[in-house]
Chains A and B, each alone.
Chain A
């Protein structure tokens, strides 16, 4: 390993507080929550990350990163020179390799706790680490003691050594204590002493014994590499704000995230974990709160027991991304005055007036919205342009909304009316801008009727205009209604849904929302627009050659990844949000 790579690895080691790879122990047995006093508003512990860092050092990704022109440029930068100088300084002081020293010092597990103070917004902080190398710690203690004598009491004062515990303070602002295999650091003397008592087994009033901590961490995987606890009430008190329901300034934000924000307001505590696997990482946020009793406005956000949860994604191998969620849209719409800011409410009145012009005598919330069903998927996938006799220079993927209105014929008519109206309105706007109008056409694709809008004129030669990315299409298949920006993508979806088993009636899950993004498909989409994206890099001031290098790096990195997946789940124990990133 080159010196630069070692320095990089050293920084990573320090940054993520790696543990010794040879000494992995079960987090439950080794957790430092028993070494920090109860009363913390926030607690973070890191366990056994050494194998992760080792894998990263040996991975293709690390080799790739350290072989890029960007990395070589970084090695010549003043930032790196400073970092390298720091490394050399540390090595001179310790008399050994900085990375090895970091592994010895931070080699097992460590934890940080924040403790609110009554008379200050700045919390007290306690930090505890346990090492597998007591001999190294002993040597380090001797060196610190020497420094204490060198700088005098105003800088580093030894407060004495009792029961084998060494203690120092730095100008009365930081308190260090150490013995055998552990180190404790705190911003106040009482807090440091509490940590020492816990580490010496002279007290039992630790975080582990705290009921709220136990409630939150009950669902936090004990084998996770990073575990976080947050006392949300204490954190809110620290900001001086009273927990009030958030009023969103846009509908999308309220309908996508409103319920989770509301749960976070109601939950007394929360936890999070981060676990690195061989080919991916998982992070989970857990809110131990009764999700069935949020404020009245957000009741419609959550899947009720026995209801169909968020829809499965269609089995398309090339899907770029998808977002699927289940909501009681009617309830959320009717609760807009509770959930949304007053200044945006007049927009709903304008919207309803517009709808009334299209369908006089009907109420949007009573007659139209219920027809849309309670599950909505937003999908992104590649599209072909075969039917256009050419391709746009900038190729967008296809986008689709998939509603589940059941078997309602009324919903079918509504969608057809909506589709035809949208195309007509678009034609007026396009005409004003000198663009090509669309004509509504229909086809039967593998037995499924599809309506679509096609631009009247195809360009005879050269790339097609940007607008040709859009051939708005709609189809009804099984219990699903598809509205897509692309005829080709609409065809793909009808094929998938035609044979899929995921119909509302038999899809009972607790998933409240799900998201997926596939790296290969994203990379393919970027590759199809390579010249356009490189030009965007040139706009930032780089040369065409530099733009090619940057694009290649991005593309190669994406191809090393597999997918990003996020799922929000309602369970008896509370609400979980799980995010997974996998790589090849």
Chain B
């Protein structure tokens, strides 16, 4: 226990830097602008972490636009409209951590519109993810067991007293709460009986008592007339649960390959915090471990991280730069092409992530994205590159190079790479716009940029 606590010991306030501020923002949101970095740097670590984990008010315009986009998705019944609604939130919300956690839970409780076929149910599930995003995991797990989209996805209406359907019980143990190796087939069969009669009726959760098996069941060695809520409670008390969720949190916010001590430390904090996600993450974000070399630049950017992060970082706006944000239509289509089609994860296991994000084919699409971003079509034009190009006469090549690397990477690049880029800068077009565009394109194409 002591070792675990030491793993998450608070970061040294004296080492707080612009680089660390940038790292915190990138991991807890999608990209970041120079103004955001400056604010977090000025506020210091603890104040910034508290603010990031808390729920901030949203601007009136954002709320109106978001509601308009949500109503459109409901009215059209078209999942593409839902994707654009969510992307708008990721790009413009004052609560990027909530959106990142919503995405984490969407992947954790992977449910696809391809089978659910109801925008209303998918949006309701998404709202539940957001409601409990940084809250009590137990409440989120309980909500998911009664969620309409989840019940449609895992054939809840087929789970009947005389013919139990094991889909939900199996995924509850394997994918939602415990992980493989922490339960038996018999546990699944018995737990499935506890969820019989948990059905959907008139687009709402409905407990069909006539189809519920209220007989005695044995789960994890416990015997009783358990129902679904009892099984959820047993999962939450299971020692594997905190470690399983800790691994998920670390893989999302820290590293693809979390070490056993790191998992144990975060699991310990989860237990101490009664499985409260926000409190646990606050400890993680304020720890020295979070800023260690093993954690920084050790995550491969997911398509959402890459695309939304780049659009935010470069301040991209549609309609020749006069619009409020980037064009959402090509954005959601690009995500699908890159393998992260929102609301449509490929299987119950969700997106595998990590190295699976980058293949030879998807890498070419990532490079094409870099080219499109600098060309200004189809997503929109970057205010960052425009401003830089306009000020280029008063800036030296070295200064521009540093400005771009600071914006894209949050730090200076290795000296050797910086020298190469400087040579390209010196040899490139004399047109300031083209010069900056070429530099940004090269930097977006670097393997280093594919790492978060």
Listed in ascending order, the chain A residues whose CB lies under 8 Å from chain B are: 73, 392-394, 432-434, 463, 465-467, 531-532, 534-536, 538-546
Contact = CB atoms under 8 A, between A and B. Distances in A.
A538 B318 CA distance: 10
A26 to B, nearest CB: 46
Contact of B77 (A466, A540, A544, A545): A466
A539 B324 contact: no
A538 B63 CA distance: 13
Contact of B72 (A432, A467, A536): A536
B327 A531 contact: no
B75 A393 contact: yes
A540 B117 contact: no
B324 A532 contact: no
B328 A541 contact: yes
B61 interface: yes
Interface in B321-379: 322-329
A527 to B, nearest CB: 15
B65 interface: yes
Nearest to A542: B323
B79 to A, nearest CB: 12
Contact of B324 (A392, A432, A531, A542): A542
A390 to B, nearest CB: 13
20 contacts: A393-B74, A394-B72, A394-B75, A463-B74, A466-B75, A466-B76, A467-B77, A534-B68, A535-B69, A535-B71, A539-B84, A539-B327, A540-B323, A541-B318, A543-B65, A543-B324, A544-B61, A544-B64, A545-B61, A546-B322
Interface of B: 61, 64-65, 68-69, 71-72, 74-77, 81, 84, 88, 117-118, 152, 317-319, 322-329, 380
A393 B67 CA distance: 14
A543 B64 CA distance: 10
A541 B72 contact: no
B65 A392 contact: no
A111 B60 CA distance: 57
Given A434-B152, A540-B323, A546-B323, A392 B75 contact: yes
A433 B72 CA distance: 20
- A-B CB proximity, top 10 nearest: A541-B318, A393-B75, A543-B324, A541-B323, A535-B72, A394-B75, A535-B68, A433-B117, A466-B77, A541-B327
Contacts of A393: 71, 74-75
Given A393-B71, A544-B68, A73 B329 contact: no
A431 to B, nearest CB: 11
Contacts of A73: 322
A542 B61 contact: no
Contacts of B76: 394, 466, 532
A540 B328 contact: yes
A74 to B, nearest CB: 11
Nearest to A76: B322
B377 to A, nearest CB: 12
A462 to B, nearest CB: 9
- What is the interface of chain A mostly: helix, strand, loop, or mixed? helix
Given A392-B75, A466-B77, A543 B323 contact: yes
A543 B329 CA distance: 15
Nearest to A534: B68
B150 to A, nearest CB: 14
A327 B380 CA distance: 47
B75 A532 contact: yes
Contact of B88 (A394, A532, A536, A538): A538
A81 to B, nearest CB: 14
Contacts of B77: 465-467
Nearest to B69: A535
A545 B60 CA distance: 12
Max chain B CB contacts within 10 Å: which of A392, A534, A541, A544?
A541
A73 B319 CA distance: 12
Contacts of B72: 394, 531-532, 535-536
Contacts of B328: 539-541
A542 to B, nearest CB: 5
A534 B324 CA distance: 14
B318 A540 contact: yes
A540 B118 CA distance: 24
Given A535-B69, A535-B71, A538-B65, 15 more contacts: A393-B71, A434-B152, A463-B74, A463-B75, A467-B77, A531-B68, A531-B72, A535-B81, A536-B72, A539-B88, A539-B329, A540-B323, A541-B327, A542-B318, A544-B65
Nearest to B65: A544
Contacts of A531: 68, 71-72
Contact of A541 (B68, B152, B324): B324
B319 A540 contact: yes
A546 B321 CA distance: 13
Contacts of A467: 77
Contact of A542 (B64, B75, B152, B319): B319
Nearest to A395: B75
A538 B69 contact: yes
Contacts of A463: 74-75
Contacts of A544: 61, 64-65, 68
Contacts of B88: 538-539
A545 B323 CA distance: 10
Contacts of A433: 117
Contacts of A534: 68
B75 A546 contact: no
Nearest to A79: B320
A539 B379 CA distance: 11
A542 B325 CA distance: 6
B65 A541 contact: no
A539 B69 contact: yes
A491 to B, nearest CB: 25
Contacts of A545: 61
Contacts of B319: 540-542
Contacts of B318: 540-542
Contacts of A535: 68-69, 71-72, 81
Max chain B CB contacts within 10 Å: which of A393, A467, A534, A542?
A542
A157 to B, nearest CB: 35
Contacts of A543: 61, 65, 323-324
Max chain A CB contacts within 10 Å: which of B152, B323, B326?
B323
Contacts of B69: 535, 538-539
A543 B322 CA distance: 10
A4 B53 CA distance: 52
Nearest to B329: A539
A532 B81 CA distance: 11
Contacts of B65: 538, 543-544
Nearest to B63: A544
Contacts of B84: 539
A464 to B, nearest CB: 10
